[in-house]
Homo-oligomer: A and B are copies of this chain.
Amino acid sequence: MLKGHQTWVFESKPVIIASAAVGGPFEAQGALSEDFDTLHADIWLGQDSFEKAEKKLLEEAAMKAIDKAGLKKDDVQFFLSGDLMNQIISSSFAARTLGIPYLGVFGACSSSMEGLALASLMVDTKFAKNALAAASSHNAAAEKQFRYPTEYGAQKPPYAQWTVTGAGAAVVAPEGEGPRVTAATIGRVVDMGISDPFNMGVAMAPAAVDTIEAHFRDLNIDPSHYDLIATGDLGAVGHRIAGDLLIEHGMKIPKKIFTDCGLLIYREEQPVLAGGSGCACSATVTYGHFMNRMRKRELKRILIVATGALLSPMSYQQKESIPCIAHAVAIEM
State whether B103 touches A118 (Cβ < 8 A): yes
A96 with B191: in contact, given A121-B125, A325-B102 (CB under 8 Å)? yes
A107 cross-chain contacts in B, Cβ below 8 A: 102-104
A51 part of interface (Cβ distance < 8 Å): yes
A68 part of interface (Cβ distance < 8 Å): no
CB distance from A320 to the nearest CB of B (A): 7
A6 part of interface (Cβ distance < 8 Å): yes
A162 part of interface (Cβ distance < 8 Å): no
Question: Complex Cα distance A86/B87, Å?
Answer: 6
CB distance from A192 to the nearest CB of B (A): 11
Question: Complex Cα distance A102/B189, Å?
Answer: 7
State whether B89 touches A310 (Cβ < 8 A): yes
* Interface 9-mer from A126-134, A221-229, A268-276, A281-289: A126-134
A26 part of interface (Cβ distance < 8 Å): no
A1 part of interface (Cβ distance < 8 Å): yes
CB distance from A122 to the nearest CB of B (A): 7
User: Which of B89, B96, B101, B106 is in CB contact (< 8 Å) with A105?
Assistant: B106
A187 cross-chain contacts in B, Cβ below 8 A: 101-102
Interface size (A, Cβ < 8 Å)?
57
State whether B52 touches A87 (Cβ < 8 A): no
By beta carbon, the residue of chain B nearest A88 is: B106
A313 with B2: in contact, given A78-B186, A189-B102, A318-B52 (CB under 8 Å)? no
Interface residues of A (CB under 8 A from B): 1-2, 5-6, 8, 48-49, 51-52, 77-78, 82, 84-89, 92-93, 95-96, 99-108, 114, 118, 121-122, 125-129, 145, 186-189, 191, 310-315, 318, 320, 323, 325
Known contacts A87-B310, A92-B325, A96-B323; 17 additional CB pairs below 8 A are A2-B77, A2-B127, A5-B77, A5-B101, A6-B101, A89-B310, A89-B312, A95-B323, A96-B310, A99-B188, A100-B188, A101-B186, A101-B188, A102-B187, A103-B186, A121-B122, A125-B125
Which 7 residue pairs of A and B lie closest in terms of their CB atoms, listed nearest first? A92-B310, A87-B312, A104-B106, A96-B189, A6-B101, A125-B125, A96-B323
Would you mind naming 29 contact pairs between A and B with Cβ atoms under 8 Å apart? A1-B126, A2-B77, A5-B77, A5-B101, A6-B78, A8-B127, A78-B186, A82-B106, A87-B108, A87-B311, A88-B106, A88-B310, A89-B312, A89-B314, A92-B189, A92-B310, A92-B323, A93-B310, A93-B323, A95-B189, A95-B323, A96-B191, A96-B310, A103-B105, A104-B114, A104-B310, A105-B106, A121-B125, A121-B127
